[in-house]
Amino acid sequence: MNAATDKAVKRAPAAITGHSRATVDWRISERPVAYPDAVRFMEGRVDEIFRGAAPEMVWLLEPPPLYTAGTSADDAELLDPGRFPVFRTGRGGRYTYHGPGQRVAYVMLDLRKRNNDVRGFVRDLEQWVIRALARFNVIGERRDDRVGIWVRRGAPHNPASRDDKIAAIGVRVRRWVTYHGVAVNLEPDLEHFAGIVPC
């Protein structure tokens, strides 16, 4: 992170933590952040949070175009390996496109304060996204068999209706501190998803 291009938002009660006494630093990067730099920062912050040397953090940014491969990614799902840089990452999930038109939230929270509940944390992330979308009159929904948030196209009981994924979630937990997080598709170039079989 760069102080010249980032702005710190006041330390605020955590809206996604399920822990009323937690405070979280919120940071917004005004310019795209290179993925290796973001990972390096998150890994350092996770260590600091674990040691109690830094507060928890939510970092909002827009990434440059790239693909990330989660722990379940299959090489056959990378359809166009030369399109964008590809980064193997320890987060859950498969292949995901990140780039302009997305808002990524890297969420670094200490689950030791939250009953060491990874599934509950993922559900909290989903609910956080649903509430944020609702503020813009977008109805986001969970799906029992899939992680992420979906919007319905068409009438609910119409066989021609379909679900579109508006938010992908992939997290990693080290020593009970989370990192990586959620990517919300605001207005990305959907053609860029054609280079992968997205999760």
| Catalytic residue annotation | 199
Cβ within 8 Å of residue 8, ≥6 positions away: 25, 26, 27
For 156, phi then psi, to 5°, come to -55, -40
